[in-house]
Structure 1
């Protein structure tokens, strides 16, 4: 979740995608285009071959900065590792911009072989008709999925079928200022675990210049705090047994989260730093807040940019429940439908290369994202880095301690961006003094309206 979400644009762009993708009477059909090759009776086009006689495929992605540099290195390594295929990695802008471009050619012979899509686009991609489920290639090749991280795979599985290959994966963690803990007479090696613990610790950490706790005004963190209590986001088993028809996040678990935040906000121990990742991270590094929630992919940056010792802990949970764990965030890689068989084979070979321990070890160290193959953590380069940054171990432990369930598998709805904006509005109103249950109910109602429109359009 390193990328900053531009919520307004997401709402417009993804809703447009949903409406466009569902104009056919068959909701799973791809947009009708001549020569698409998506019907069984159509003849697929021949694979694109470059001047070196290699099958050449496009890989659309949304990684920038160090992520793009690492990805380019991985692609170069694959291209040099064999003589049959060439992958061309092409940056397409943000996740939302990539999806918008995909809409016009998805499911046709002109589509990229591989597409990177953020996790909340999973339901849309499954329904789009643009893709071949990853399970098809896994079964044909006898690929052993047990070598990959179960709690990452689970998000992208529906009815036991894996639809896409996990790629850049992260979860939330709680970061805290160990120096501030010492100054407040608290044990810097013992982070608070429950909501009540955080409330009590935040009060002890609060000074004239520093808030005790903060959380980005962003729906992802709310979803995680609901899930770690075992709560669901929508009905129909979190949208995994059928199309969800209503939100349920305004039940007991969601209310626990809003009351937790509300209590600290009223006490003046909660710092509201808005919706900008950079702002809340800067507040932590400059000593304006002692504890906050961040992506596991942001841990290294927090450590390197803070003039104090940084602690990393599991996200907190409500006092009356056992911790269930976290939902994976980030993005995955999807295989195009309608392209030549040899291009699909090239894409599959690249994905297998991508999941090897050696490649995943480097990806983990370059970006801070999890290794989807846990054997990567046994590589010497990872062990050496973990000796330097033992905080990384905490992020992996939290993921691997997660209890597989419908709650921690994560919700599937095609209107997730709209729903997250509803949560943002609810949080903003909460911090202005509104009633927790009232604003949660309003967010659920707004989500229900978006779901109803999407379901009607799909029909």
Structure 2
């Protein structure tokens, strides 16, 4: 490890002091895959960040390639890697770490991170590392992350005789609040929410449960998992208090005033901020035993198959993207959390929280986060899981107990 660290340090020193001296040398190209539509506002914001890096680092030329979404980005990563022409850096889902490692596509960042000194690692939000750590390796840098939240229309709560300064935080309080909302105005939906495995993980963890024991041991038939799904099922099918919507549909219902409470990602906060005509706040998903919920999102991966100089140049770019100033800026632009602790102390972030207190409310919940569930052969496991969740929660074709036993059996077959 010491030898590897020394190699990394020598490469970095060469990049900083050696390459800059060759005035006539062409800059090192770094291809960066970024999952966003070409014409969107986030693409414009990222282009500005990349351009600023290129101007400040004339020995490097980062070429940002906008790839649409995570699925398209993953397809491109796999295709180019298998063809022997991988990107240098890509932003993609945290849950892709295992697949990329199995493909032998990405560099273990441990020596680079250790070469930066302990302050570099320690300044990242503690929980955000968990999704990128695998068998002693660190496979990615945290970059853009979100958590599931409860959004509250405070005016609607007040109209129903509820205390808008004290929204419900437990399962029992949530049921009672939803009943009061429906009793006051039957035309308004009490709660809207997606019903996928990510949102439901928040309810499972808030019941002290877990989907998995390790990367090849699912625990979907655990009593605490079934109990959490049963509560969600009853809110939908027994008590008619929660209505299933996609993430986008839930935001539309909430902003139209057609729903008083919404469960959604922090990724919707900027949209709600810019369009809500009523007073609103955010809080944790309701708990039964403890507040705990997953974070999702994507990180930066460094790809194998390039020269040492190119790899070091790509690392410099990754460090820049995760610097306190840039992660704070990206947070204010995108609505994702800043990934560095020191970013939250910057004057611009403090001013942002003053103007947008809901963002501070969300950031205060990071202490309760856990990594998104993941198993080996995640694409297959995720597809199976969400299809059975749909059969239970959307279609009402199975009870939670029946569905979780079926899911456990099918997933266990994958890992024999």
Q: Any idea what SS the aligned residue of 1:257 has?
A: helix
Q: Deviations over 1:273-327 (max 9, x none)?
A: 2xx3221111111122211211112112113222211110011122xx222x232
Of 303, 308, 328, the residue aligned with 2:278 is 308
1:225 and 2:189 are equivalent in the alignment? no
Q: Deviations over 1:12-52 (max 9, x none)?
A: xxxxxxxxxxxxxxxxxxxxxxxxxxxxxxxxxxx9x9986
Write out aligned runs for 1:163-312 (5 A): 163-206=139-182, 207-236=185-214, 239=215, 244=216, 246-265=217-236, 266-273=238-245, 276-312=246-282
- Whether the 8 Å CA contact 1:199–1:264 is kept in 2: the answer is yes
Residue matched to 1:388:
355
Structure 1, 159-168 or 422-431: larger mean CA deviation: 422-431
- Whether the 8 Å CA contact 1:175–1:292 is kept in 2: the answer is yes
- Whether the 8 Å CA contact 1:192–1:198 is kept in 2: the answer is yes
CA distance in 2, matches of 1:286, 1:169: 27
CA distance in 2, matches of 1:70, 1:50: 30
CA distance in 2, matches of 1:441, 1:108: 41
Residue matched to 2:8:
none
Residue matched to 1:348:
315
Structure 1, 426-435 or 342-351: larger mean CA deviation: 426-435
Q: Any idea what SS the aligned residue of 2:161 has?
A: coil
CA distance in 2, matches of 1:303, 1:117: 26
Residue matched to 2:399:
435
- Whether the 8 Å CA contact 2:193–2:247 is kept in 1: the answer is no
Residue matched to 1:114:
89
- Whether the 8 Å CA contact 2:201–2:293 is kept in 1: the answer is no
1:400 and 2:360 are equivalent in the alignment? no
- Whether the 8 Å CA contact 2:235–2:242 is kept in 1: the answer is yes
User: So what's the TM-score if we normalise by structure 2?
Assistant: 0.87
Residue matched to 2:381:
419
Q: Any idea what SS the aligned residue of 2:80 has?
A: coil
Which blocks of at least 5 consecutive residues in structure 1 are unaligned?
Answer: 1-46, 403-407
Q: Deviations over 1:160-188 (max 9, x none)?
A: 53210111111111101101100011111
**Alpha carbons of 1:119 and 1:338: their partners in 2 closer, same or farther (altered >3 Å)?**
same
CA distance in 1, matches of 2:194, 2:340: 30
- Whether the 8 Å CA contact 1:361–1:376 is kept in 2: the answer is yes
CA RMSD of aligned residues (A): 2.3
Residue matched to 2:31:
58
CA distance in 2, matches of 1:387, 1:230: 34
- Whether the 8 Å CA contact 1:108–1:339 is kept in 2: the answer is no
1:322 and 2:322 are equivalent in the alignment? no
Cα drift, residue 377 of structure 1: 1.6
Write out aligned runs for 1:71-90 (5 A): 71-90=46-65
Residue matched to 1:12:
none
CA distance in 2, matches of 1:180, 1:278: 21
CA distance in 2, matches of 1:278, 1:410: 21
User: So what's the TM-score if we normalise by structure 1?
Assistant: 0.79
1:337 and 2:301 are equivalent in the alignment? no
**Alpha carbons of 1:146 and 1:107: their partners in 2 closer, same or farther (altered >3 Å)?**
farther
- Whether the 8 Å CA contact 1:108–1:337 is kept in 2: the answer is no
Q: Deviations over 1:338-359 (max 9, x none)?
A: 2111111011101111122111
Cα drift, residue 264 of structure 1: 1.6
Q: Any idea what SS the aligned residue of 2:165 has?
A: coil
CA distance in 1, matches of 2:383, 2:193: 16
**Alpha carbons of 1:147 and 1:445: their partners in 2 closer, same or farther (altered >3 Å)?**
same
CA distance in 1, matches of 2:144, 2:260: 28
- Whether the 8 Å CA contact 2:143–2:327 is kept in 1: the answer is no
Between structures 1 and 2, the one with greater strand share: 2
Q: Deviations over 1:124-174 (max 9, x none)?
A: 112110111111211244362111111111221224532101111111111
Aligned length: 388
Cα drift, residue 198 of structure 1: 1.1
CA distance in 1, matches of 2:82, 2:24: 26
